Every structure is written in C-alpha cells, then in structure tokens.
Amino acid sequence: MTDRETRVADPATRVTGPEARVVHPIEQESFRRLRARLDTSHFPPLTRAVVERVIHSAADLDYASDLVTDEVALEEAHRALHDGAPVVVDVEMVAAGITRRDTVCRLKDAVSGPGLTRSAHAVRLAYEQVGPGALWVIGCAPTALEELLTLDAAPALVIGLPVGFVGAAESKAALRESGLPAVSNVSEKGGSAVAAAALNALLYHPVSHPESHPAPEAESRAGSPSKSKEKS
C-alpha cells in the first residue's frame, strides 16, 4: 500500500489499531458496487466480511449462497489469528494472496509416494512443524484437505475451498461432516484467490466488535438465514 491510498471508513474493509490497513479507492468502489448488487446486511459481521471478500476476489455473486460458514467458529478463529496462531497454506499461490501474515507452505519439501500426493505429504510436514491450533487455508488440492481430515490437527479454522471436478466438492462435504470449524463451499468451484480472500477477511476485520449479534444455532449456508440441507 502507498501513502497516497486513503483509509476506508467501512469496518468491513478496515482494521483498527496501530497497523490499520489503508484501502485503495478502487477497492472501496468495488465494494460499493458489490453491495449495490447484493444485500449482505443480514449477515453477522465476520460472515459478512468473509462472504464479501470472497465475492470481491472472484467477482462471483453466487458465493453468497454457495459458502458455508459458522459465525461462532469465525469469532474463535479471528481471536486465534490475531493472537498469533500460525497459518498453513497448501500452495504458494494461496500464500501470495495473504498480505498481512507469514504463512507455512511445505509443498517444496514434499514428495509423492504410493497412495500419497505431494499436496497430502506437504500437509503432514506442515502439521509436524506447527502442531495443533493453526489456521489451515486450502485453495488448490482436494487431497490436501482430505489428508488434513485424517490428522488430529485440532485446527483453529479450516478454510477449505479447493477447486476442481475431481474430489473438490467431495472433500469439502467431508470437511463439513467432520465437525471441524470451517469455511467451505458446496460447489466444485473455489481456488487460491478465494481461499486467501477468506483468510484476509479475518485479518482485515477489526479486532474489537462494537456490535453484538446472536450466535447462530447451527452451521448454515451463507446465503440463507436458516440452516440449509445439502442435496445428496
């Protein structure tokens, strides 16, 4: 960011404190247009932040009904993130999109083997390095997400948004069934940009929330105020 960029007043795109983020006017205008086309005001604050930033990263309004989030899980992950919990990513493209936090990516050190992809091995190596309590951001490889679900990783949050026709939707469904705190989506779409955007939403969101919102009773589709059951 340059010193010519101006700070936005909207808390959905600002972080308070000594290292407050400044937002370029183009980004401010992008969010204004997004909100002109989609009403996100009914979402609780962190869910709204994640939904808006994912949509902004992909210019895809359908994520409003495709994402599955849980506000309580996001609140706990937000606290862990700002308390310094490590962030693990599956590929360097996700790391490149996370702008305010160092990340762990072990893909360069990983090797494939019988029944094991490089992405899955990288998850094993990363867990050996960071241990429990990390935030995991998976935006590329379904096998990375599948491997994470086999570990006793006790994550602060799993942002599981891998993309693809093979295994992506299935791995995200398995994440939701696992009961782990998570951000996921139902469809096959996803990718590094949207996964990084979901993490950035938590990084950019104010540490102190002036408003209180009732906690949701259960995990729900972001696009609906009530629980939605997935189609089989």
The whole-number pLDDT of residue 207 equals: 81
Q: What is the identity of the amino acid at 22?
A: V
Beta-carbon contacts of 53 under 8 Å, excluding residues fewer than 6 positions away, are 197, 198, 200, 201, 204
The whole-number pLDDT of residue 214 equals: 46
CA distance 134 to 43: 26
The whole-number pLDDT of residue 23 equals: 81
157 beta partners: 135
- β 67-69/220-221 pair status: antiparallel
Question: For this structure, is 42 an active site residue?
Answer: no
* pTM for the whole structure: 0.81
The whole-number pLDDT of residue 221 equals: 60
The whole-number pLDDT of residue 13 equals: 36
The whole-number pLDDT of residue 209 equals: 47
Q: Which of these is catalytic: 24, 42, 56, 209? A: 56
Beta-carbon contacts of 216 under 8 Å, excluding residues fewer than 6 positions away, are 44, 70, 71, 72
Q: Taking a C-beta distance cutoff of 8 angstroms, is the pair 135, 156 a contact? A: yes
The whole-number pLDDT of residue 19 equals: 56
* pLDDT tens-place values along the chain, 232 residues long: 322 222 223 433 334 443 567 888 999 999 999 999 999 999 999 999 999 999 999 999 999 999 999 999 999 999 999 999 999 999 999 999 998 899 999 999 999 999 999 999 999 999 999 999 999 999 999 999 999 999 999 999 999 999 999 999 999 999 999 999 999 999 999 999 999 999 999 999 988 644 444 444 444 566 443 333 333 3
